[in-house]
Every structure is written in C-alpha cells, then in structure tokens.
Chains A and B, each alone.
Chain A
Amino acid sequence: MAIGEPMKIRAALAGDQTEVKVLMNHEMETGQRKDAQGQTIPAWFIQSVMATWNGKAVLSAQWGTAIAKNPFLSFKFKGGAKGDKILIHWVDSRGDQRTDEAVIA
C-alpha cells in the first residue's frame, strides 16, 4: 500500500556520475514523545530504503528513529544517462511502503 505524499526525487548528471537527491514525506516518530494526555506516541519510522537505477541497486539503507522528519538523502553513483529511470522505495515500521521514480536529467 502506498501511503503519504509522493517523494521529491531529483537525479542529474554531474560528470561521469549521477547525483540523486530525495526528499521523503514521513513523520519519523521516535517513540520518545508524549501526547497532551501524557501517553507515549508509538514509534513510526522508515526502516529500509532502496534506490535502483535500471533495476540495479545503487544504494540501500536501514534507518532508525534518529533520521529527521521528512527524510532527506543525497548520494552519487557512476553511470546513468539522461532519460534513465531511478526508483526509490521505502518500507516503514508499520509495514507501509511507497515507491516513486524520477528520470535522470
């Protein structure tokens, strides 16, 4: 099930590399905060992220609760050509997931 707002993904050639910048929409709730009634707000956060280019993994990550709300991620990989597709996929601690794609500019 895809939840939340689409990610903002920018992928652009920089020399022989492709630079990818991703902005995800997620609360990244730590499990440390309490609500107005003093009840602990349960942790809810992205646990795994996978970036693929033409079906090949170019980055994968495991995250804990310390990644900031609406996570930002930037990385570079060799190869990539204008028009190639970049896919970003995440799964959170509730088992919800989302995949968005961008084209290399």
Chain B
Amino acid sequence: MSEILDRLKKAILEYDVEGAGNIAANAIEEGIDPIDAVDVAIKTIRQIGDGYSRGELWIPDLVGGASAMKAAMSVFEDELKKKGKKRQTLGSIVIGTVHGDIHDIGKTMVSTLAEAEGFEVIDLGVSIKAENFVAAVSEHNPVILALSALMTTTAFEQRKVIEMFKEQGMRESIKVAVGGGAVTEEFSQSIGADGYAPTAPMAINLFKELIGIGGQNE
C-alpha cells in the first residue's frame, strides 16, 4: 500500500475526520486511483466493524470511524464522478425520518453503519414528506428505502409513505425497511413494510437480508 493510503487508514482508525478528508484530497492530487483508495477506506471501516463485533469497540467507535471514512469517501466519490467511473457497492439506500418527526440520531447511526458495510447511502434528513421519498427513489433508484420514526404520533406517517409508493405503482420495485422507537415488528407488518429492525446494527443485517446476501457480518 502506498504511504498516503497508509496514512488514510491511520486517520480513519483514529476517527480523525478532518485528517481523513485532507489526506483523501492529497491522495487524489498525487494521482492515486480513487477505486484503490475507496477499497482501503472500506477495508479500514470493516476492521472497526470487526472490532465492534468482537466486543472490543463500541458504537462511538463505529460512528467515529464512519465519519472519518465519509469525509474521505466524499472526496473519492467526486473524483470518480469526474472520471465517469463507478465504485462497487452493495447497492444504494434512500433513508430519512418521516414527516413530522425531527429525530435524527437513530437514522444517522443506521446511515453510517450502512455506509461502512458498503452500501451507498442517500440520507434525505429529517421530517421528509412522502412525496419527497417518492421523488428521491425515482431519482436514485435504490435497492432499499429505509424509514425512521421515533414517535407513536409519526409511526403512522410510515404507512402514508408506503401507501404513496403503492399509488404511484412503485411499491413492487423497492424493499421498504422501517425502524425507530415507536415501531414494532407487528406494526411494520400492519403497514406492509418488508422488514423491521429494532437497533442500528440489526438494521444492517436486515438490509443485507432484503437484498439476499445473508444477515451476517463478513
């Protein structure tokens, strides 16, 4: 591995967001192939994920590592776009907290872990209206739509989103995963979702199951 990619790896392992972004920019300036750089970033975050699986690392480590990785990835993604290349991912996920709900943290944990696992994540943010989920899915053509709702008041909004996909004739072309504090397995079935996960790490396994690659970490 080149010296600069070694430094990138170190920055991600130290959860150094600014450093990872800067090193990524330097790597591109030095002419490193962004595909190779992405490979290093993902392998590094997997290393952190493995530490978590072994019980040696914790959620703050996952989120720290994922934040550093994301800072580097956005540089590499821009470069790939410029060169007209596409990196290998497990597929893309459109994710957001439903309309009327401004809770961000659970959804962000899922986003960062999914990125780390190798998905491309399009995070729409919080309080997203049903029609905006439809528009984002039309634009990005993801494999999974993930909806978050923390409150009992807004869990019903998840049903509204699913209903709108049905109305638009788009329900069959997408897997819908739901989660959040107010959601249960039973509720997810009652609103016609494809899957439910109670925690962020379990959501990642669910995503992998939904696209047919098994529920275990590599």
Q: Do A and B bind each other?
A: no
